[in-house]
Chain A
Amino acid sequence: MSKYVAKRILMSALTLFVIIFVLFVLIRIMPGNPFPVERMSAELILQKRAELGLDKPILIQFADYMSMLLQGSFGNGTSLYNGAPIKPIMFACLENSFKVGVLSILFGTTIGLGLGIVAALNRGKFLDGLCTVVSILGVCIPSYVFMIFLQYFFAYKIPFFPYFFDPSQFLFSSIMPSLSLSLFSISTVARFTRNEMIEVMNSDYVKLAEAKGLYGFELLRRHVLRNALIPIVTVIAPLVVDLVTGAMVIEKIYGINGAGSLMVNAIAGDGVDYNYVLALGIVFSALYIAVMLALDILYGIIDPRIRLATKEG
């Protein structure tokens, strides 16, 4: 097991390194200019380029950037109006996004699991139909559309929630964005859980457990839930990624000062802020790879088939 984990960690680190390299090179070889040309003289640009080390060969630039990264710095913003260090701004934004994200994963998995289990146990009945409707809605309605509706009805028409995100009442104002972000997770997890549960309930080993004399809750607890829930770990990883993408729009709508809106500002504004894009790209990729790695290892731990197979192999 530890050998397997070590191998996975090594692979992930390697993948991350390759991604950083590719991102870096792509951004550096890009045509165009990181500075607003019309507002700067050619002289000033040259001076600025030398100052930022952009005149050196690209591999040396990369080595410089890596050593800076390893020291925990992400450099400065490149555009003239934002020369401040990236790290504090980015991490403040990441913190907001992270909290909303974690909350929506919590919503997504608990509500999704609950719905899926209830639907599987009431197969073909009303609650099963309800679960199907919710999962269809979750797939058909983009999270930001749901957010727009929530905001319109529950913050504007009935001003129960704050109309914009308010960091001073964090939990309360996170409910709407987290809920809309989790809509897709809820439907995916619910659908997956339902199908997985039904498959397990029809499996031979559950039939055998019934033949042993197990029934009701005891049967669910001992044989159905554990086997049905293990594979759900595999659907959570892609959901986390969708979350990051979805968060971008939700943050824009609800005025959350988060990493997604930071990225949008970096690319959709007048001058693209290359170093922000690079830094955020690295952080998003690292987070994604870390989540995948963690879930992979978790899956190995909870499923004896993988745990023992890797021990022997």
Chain B
Amino acid sequence: MAKTYIPKADDFEFIGSRDLNVDLNFASQGYWKGVAVHFLRNRLAVTGVVIVGVIILFAIFAPILSSYGYQEIVSVNDTGKELVAKSLPPQIADGSAQNLFADKTFLFGTDDMGRDLWTRTWHGARISLIIAFVAIFIDMLIGTSYGLISGYFGGLVDNILQRFIEIAGSIPTLVIISILAIFMEKGIGLVISSLLLTEWIGMSKIARAECLKLKEREYVLASRTLGAGSFHIIFKQILPNTIGPIITQVMFSIPVAIFTEAFLSFVGVGIVLPQCSLGSLIEAGFGNITILPYQILPPITVLAFLMLGFNLIGDGFREALAPKLEDM
């Protein structure tokens, strides 16, 4: 620091013409690129992506690569008698021939029907994920459209739509599920329907709030003056700018959906046999928890990591979209 400056001959020459109006501090950076950079710099968010990514990969490939079907009851023929691999603890094939199933690998053990829990856990995760993605995707479509229309048109339309939401939102989820359970067969349809009826409200509130904010912006006013139609403005100009908050909401809704499925299946109005999901596997494991505690661990662990992963991603998104000053 304290070294003395050795003057150079050209020290007092002007640098000459430069374009001073090029601002080097705030070099142009696309909005989404900025969000992406912020997101990727967040270690927790990246961890979330890795967790969710790994689970999705396993959910896709593990059942395909497994040597057992998820419904398959594993058995061996022992001197003419059919022996079923019931309730075996986790094991890796070693061929030591100590028991009849020594040549078979059950990484998570088997359930009390003799089915491979490794295959069933990943198949269950697959079903849970499919339910969550489908339900939340439809929720996003419904909620966003509803919120944008309500927010954009305002006045009477908004008033009616918001009263409806107020009433719909005052019915506890449990009651909605119960009514559905009367109407519908138990199973995937019931789970998805109850998610459809409950989760869209939050989405529509966010879309409406964003829309109210955006519709007064100059660029919207400008295109309205130029004669753009309402639907053009809503879907071409407002919608693209609401995507950030909506994606964040989606990331927080997916774990809620996974949780709801697990809860419905546990109670007995969700997924039914022989199909399985994380919730129904937990329920089955719970039945045997005192005797065979290893059966409940895999589905619970996968569930917890899924919830963790999606929550971390959601948090990361929220922070990346609205960086606080101290994070800059």
Knowing A144-B266, A244-B172, A288-B172 touch, does A281 contact B178 (C-beta < 8 A)? Answer: yes
Stretch at the interface among A110-118, A164-172, A266-274, A294-302: A266-274
CB-nearest residue of chain A to B164:
A18
Known: A15-B167, A152-B290. A268 touches B181 (CB 8 A): yes
5 interchain residue pairs of minimum CB distance: A140-B307, A267-B181, A281-B175, A140-B308, A268-B268
- Interface-located stretch among B215-223, B237-245, B296-304: B296-304
Q: By the criterion CB–CB under 8 Å, are A241 and B172 in contact?
A: yes
**Looking across the interface, which residue of chain B has its beta carbon closest to that of A17?**
B167
Contact with A along B146-177 (1 / 0, CB 8 A): 00000000000000000000110011111101
Q: Interface code B270-314, partner A: CB below 8 Å = 1, 0 otherwise?
A: 000000000000100010011001001000100111011001000
Could you tell me which B residues sit within 8 Å of A by CB distance? 166-167, 170-175, 177-179, 181-183, 255, 259, 262-263, 266-269, 282, 286, 289-290, 293, 296, 300, 303-305, 307-308, 311
A30 located at the interface, meaning its Cβ lies under 8 Å from any Cβ of chain B in the complex = yes
Interface string of A1-45 (1 = CB under 8 A from B): 000000000000001101100110011001100000000000000
Complex CA–CA separation, A26 to B181 (angstroms): 12
Q: Chain B residues near A148: list those with CB within 8 A.
A: 282, 286, 289, 296, 300
Q: Is the CB of B311 within 8 A of A274?
A: no
User: How many Å lie between the Cα of A15 and that of B169 in the bound state?
Assistant: 10
Residues of B near A260 (CB, < 8 A) are 174
Hey, which chain B residues are within 8 Å of A253, CB to CB? 286
Kindly state the separation between the CA atoms of A273 and B171 in the bound complex, as whole angstroms. Answer: 19
Query: In chain B, what residue has the closest Cβ to A288?
Result: B172
B269 surroundings in chain A (CB, below 8 A): 267-268
A239 adjacent to chain B (CB < 8 Å): no
- Which residues in A have some Cβ–Cβ distance to B below 8 Å? 15-16, 18-19, 22-23, 26-27, 30-31, 136, 139-142, 144-145, 148, 152, 156, 241, 244-246, 248-249, 252-253, 260, 263-264, 266-268, 272, 274, 277, 280-281, 284-285, 288-289, 292
7 contacts between A and B (CB under 8 A): A15-B167, A27-B182, A30-B182, A140-B307, A152-B293, A260-B174, A268-B181
State whether B311 touches A277 (Cβ < 8 A).
Answer: no
Contact of B183 with A145 in the complex, beta carbons under 8 Å: no
Q: Please tell me if the beta carbons of A245 and B308 are within 8 angstroms of each other in the complex.
A: no
With A249-B266, A285-B170 known as contacts, the answer to whether A141 contacts B175 (CB < 8 A) is no
Secondary structure dominating the interface of B: helix
A276 to B199, CA, bound (A): 25
Q: State whether B171 touches A264 (Cβ < 8 A).
A: no
Inter-chain CA distance A264–B181, complex, in Å, is 10
Which residues in A have their C-beta under 8 angstroms from that of B308?
136, 139-140
B213 nearest CB across to chain A (Å): 20
Are B167's CB and A280's CB within 8 A? no
Inter-chain contact A15/B170, CB cutoff 8 Å: yes
Q: Which residue of B lies closest to A145 (CB)?
A: B300
Given contacts A249-B267, A272-B182, A285 and B311 within 8 Å (CB-CB): no
B268, chain A: closest CB distance, angstroms: 4
Given contacts A15-B167, A142-B303, A284-B175, 6 further A-B contacts (CB under 8 A): A19-B170, A139-B307, A142-B307, A252-B267, A263-B174, A274-B182
User: Roughly how many angstroms separate A139 CA and B305 CA in the complex, as a whole number?
Assistant: 11
The interface residues of chain A lying within 8 Å CB-to-CB of B255 are: 139-140
Instruction: Say yes or no: A281 contacts B181, CB within 8 Å.
Output: no
Given contacts A148-B286, A267-B182, contact A141 B172 (CB under 8 A): no
B256 to chain A, nearest CB (A): 10
Q: Is the CB of A277 within 8 A of B182?
A: yes
A26: chain B residues at CB < 8 Å are 179, 183
Knowing A263-B174, A263-B178, A285-B171 are in contact, say whether A156-B290 is a contact too (CB < 8 A): yes
| Alpha-carbon gap, A292 to B266, bound state (A) | 29
Q: Which residue of A lies closest to B309 (CB)?
A: A140
A144, A241, A285: which has the most chain B beta carbons within 10 Å?
A144
Residues of B within 8 A of A252 (CB): 266-267
Contacts of B307 in A (CB 8 A): 139-142
Query: B286 near A284 (CB under 8 angstroms)?
Result: no
Q: Are B303 and A145 in contact (CB under 8 A)?
A: yes
- Taking the closest CB of chain A, its distance from the CB of B45, in whole angstroms, is 13
